[in-house]
Structure 1
């Protein structure tokens, strides 16, 4: 997948124009996948190149809520959906464009023959454009516009805000259903205090970067993928109340029974499947060890 960090012409080679999916695509949830999939399918059927147009928010921006994916994982997932060209200019570069300027630039740079978006898509300065205006502006240019209906889960539209709420409540099955894939993290393994190793339950320590959505504090059934191999695992997310005097310090520690090896600096993928219990302070370290081992047994049973 070719990535374009500015509004610039796509290198389409001998492809007959492009089909472009439009949106922010922050979680790559079911609705996003439908929009992107529509563009990919249309492009393949018409000899065109499948493309995505999105934008990059400034570092630390909360405009779209806390992050569900890293930039790298967002690129990886979108490429895996069959997208060949990915335009991601900075938001500051496009925020002042009128709807007319936006469409003209998009169609020119992408040689777009078809555009795909969701029902709630907006574009142009102050979000002045909607799917109806998109159709109106594209009609004289001979560009087709396809508007995907909102994906539904339990009778309500799927949205990134609903996914964040599900994660905050520990409802991992709901979050995974709306995402269309397991909620996962891929953060570098960092050095911790080494207590797990002392207790016979060594854990990998991953820290959520600032600005990311945190799931509910507690213990989870997870699956950890290392070098192409996947292992049932148990993950504790929170302030480690038994051994930590700083409640503001949040860690994400995963015990992978049956795995041994040095993962410091690596970035294994930890997928979440079920919430087991809230964090609690144990009276002894033996009780803490027993809790971790019990969670690991439940994880192994879950994946049998």
Structure 2
């Protein structure tokens, strides 16, 4: 997938089919819009494309970032999008709806068809809606396909609902709405060596940056992509009350990978969250904490063995 981070014409010799949206989380609703655009492009000899944007300072529209930018790109590319235009919001925020269609859809994309959800807005101060999009696109010969909003549990899937599910420990709901497991790929950093030094359970530390949504604290069954292979793992997110009881203790994200001894410092391995196991709590001894970590790792190995 070719990514452009400024408003510029994309490579679409025969024209493009363009998915429109912010796509934070690339959830089921977003996947439907992106996938429909890619399918249409494949059947009509067009280039599959998407238009989105980045907010300043790694901000998000309604809360912390669900996925890293790299993960967002990877999930969009998996859906078949070949040309991806992602300018800063400031670069086009002042465009009128008419200029958005003319400059972005016509000049940049050579669009033949566009795809969006029924809540799509565009143009300065979100002045344009789906009906206006259809009116403005028609003279240019651009068709507008409104993709039905995805539903889960009788309600529309949204990034707001996914954030709430992650923050409340409802990982099953979050993953169902995302369409694939919630995942992180934050850089691996050095911890305090407690896992390897005192517990016999060396951990991979991938702590959350300030702009990212942090899921509910607790112990999770996870799997991690290391050296090109997926490995079952157990991940704890929390303040580690057993080893640091101070009120201002930092929240950490630590993953124990049984039977793995490689050095991954500075790397950004992909970590998928598959099941919430239990809350974080203070144990009476290091041995009790080590026993929980090993139990969680065995649970993870059994969980993924059963998936196959």
TMscore range, shorter length: over 0.9
Residue 31 of structure 2 corresponds to residue 3 of structure 1: no
Q: What's the C-alpha RMSD, in Å, of the aligned pairs?
A: 1.1
1:93-139 residue CA offsets vs partner (Å, 9 max, x unmatched): 11111111101112222110000001111111111111111111111
Distance 1:217 1:224, change over 3 A: same
How much does 1:200 deviate?
A: 1.2
Q: Please tell me whether the aligned partners of residues 114 and 144 of structure 2 are also in contact (alpha carbons under 8 angstroms).
A: yes
5 Å-filtered alignment, 1:146-295, equals 146-198=145-197, 199-244=199-244, 245-295=246-296
**Structure 1 residue aligned with 2:134:** 135
**Given the alignment, which residue of 86, 89, 97 partners 1:88?**
86
Q: Please tell me whether the aligned partners of residues 59 and 65 of structure 2 are also in contact (alpha carbons under 8 angstroms).
A: no
Distance 1:64 1:16 in 2: 37
Q: Please tell me whether the aligned partners of residues 16 and 46 of structure 1 are also in contact (alpha carbons under 8 angstroms).
A: no
Give the number of aligned pairs. 302
1:201-242 residue CA offsets vs partner (Å, 9 max, x unmatched): 111111111111111001111111112211111100011111
What TM-score do the two structures reach when normalised by structure 1?
A: 0.97
How much does 1:11 deviate?
A: 2.3
Distance 1:275 1:298 in 2: 11
**Given the alignment, which residue of 54, 62, 87 partners 1:64?**
62
What TM-score do the two structures reach when normalised by structure 2?
A: 0.95
1:151-184 residue CA offsets vs partner (Å, 9 max, x unmatched): 0111111111110011011111111111111001
Distance 1:270 1:75, change over 3 A: same
**Given the alignment, which residue of 75, 78, 82 partners 2:76?**
78
**Structure 1 residue aligned with 2:99:** 101
SS in 1 for 2:291: helix
Residue 29 of structure 2 corresponds to residue 31 of structure 1: yes
Distance 1:292 1:267 in 2: 22
1:6-42 residue CA offsets vs partner (Å, 9 max, x unmatched): 1111122xx3100100000011011101101111111
How much does 1:61 deviate?
A: 2.6
Distance 2:257 2:230 in 1: 10
**Structure 2 residue aligned with 1:120:** 119
SS in 1 for 2:8: coil
Distance 2:155 2:44 in 1: 33
Distance 2:262 2:11 in 1: 43
How much does 1:248 deviate?
A: 4.5
Q: After TM superposition, where is structure 1 displaced by more than 3 Å over at least 4 residues in a row?
A: none
Distance 2:271 2:11 in 1: 36
Distance 1:163 1:55, change over 3 A: same
Q: Please tell me whether the aligned partners of residues 36 and 81 of structure 1 are also in contact (alpha carbons under 8 angstroms).
A: yes
How much does 1:64 deviate?
A: 3.3
SS in 2 for 1:134: helix
Distance 1:27 1:91, change over 3 A: same
